[in-house]
Chains A and B, each alone.
Chain A
């Protein structure tokens, strides 16, 4: 069934269509929420609310204006923004008690993939750097780098111009590159000596 058929069925109150859409989009929505919010518990809440809003507002989706995945990410994005405005800043895995299990899961995953200590440290630094980015830069990075949206769709999700989105990506990458470079310099691994200074 196409997205249009599924959404028409949702409008008719048919739960099988809702279930199909949930199964198709759950992973991308939950991962997006996690990349914006930085913790598992809130990401799950936002994901659940996103699909509840899909059920309630199904008639509002206009297939000629946006793909279903774009529309769903826009709902999730708006919910994340509301959450961040309400709670001030993001609460990462490291500072939320409920996330203990998730940290364990992550550590297990890392051990099973034999990630070196240095690598893990660098990943952690990068993760913290991403969490410290302004929300719009984090969203732009999550949508374009991780979720693979086109700049046009990502801009529509964030409700900004394509130019503003590209500016946010540029700033995000410059900031992350600087953080990685500083980390490497601090470790005495000056791998960027030959690169031009920007």
Chain B
């Protein structure tokens, strides 16, 4: 380990040994323990970092209100995005699950309605007779006609 390498590490990673790279830490600490002038150098960098930490940042009173209240342009949403956002809302997710349930039931309701109004080409002989009594009468007539013959 050379002084130059040591210096590079403390400049890049800081004077705190906890932040030094794992693979170099042992070598760095050994180098540090052997050399008094290196310890003085580390102390100097440590002092610099402490001074940097002490530089105050002023408060920004009213900035949060200003940013929250700034006029935001309207966001244009596509129909798909709107539909997905209605079905799977991001806020109060549990409270709005009924939307997904309703959406899931829609095909079932649609099928029932469609099935009630359209036969889809399936004919039934039952449709030819209004009442079962008529059907019996017709069967009876058939029997008579056959016996007469």
Contact = CB atoms under 8 A, between A and B. Distances in A.
Contacts of B81: 11-12
What interface size band does chain B fall in?
A: 35 or more
Contact of A26 (B49, B57, B64, B73): B64
Interface residues of A, number: 60
Interface stretch (A70-78, A84-92, A103-111): A103-111
B63 A173 contact: no
Contact of A5 (B54, B59, B60, B90): B90
A196 B59 CA distance: 40
A56 B74 CA distance: 9
Contacts of B70: 48, 51-52
Contacts of B3: 196
B51 A177 contact: no
Contacts of A9: 90-91
Interface in A128-187: 130, 141, 145-146, 151, 166, 169-170, 173-174, 176-177, 180-181
A23 B64 CA distance: 7
A102 interface: yes
B49 A126 contact: no
**Chief secondary structure at chain A's binding surface:** helix
Nearest to B82: A12
Residue from B14, B38, B51 having most chain A Cβ neighbours under 10 A? B51
A16 B91 CA distance: 9
A22 interface: yes
A9 B91 CA distance: 8
Given A43-B60, A56-B73, A130-B55, A194 B37 contact: yes
Contacts of B90: 1, 5, 8-9, 12, 14, 17
A2 B57 CA distance: 29
B36 interface: yes
Nearest to A40: B58
B40 interface: yes
B74 A51 contact: no
A5 B58 CA distance: 32
A195 B63 contact: no
Residue from B38, B47, B63, B67 having most chain A Cβ neighbours under 10 A? B67
A47 B51 contact: no
Closest 8 CB pairs of A and B: A13-B75, A195-B40, A9-B90, A170-B11, A102-B58, A12-B85, A173-B11, A194-B40
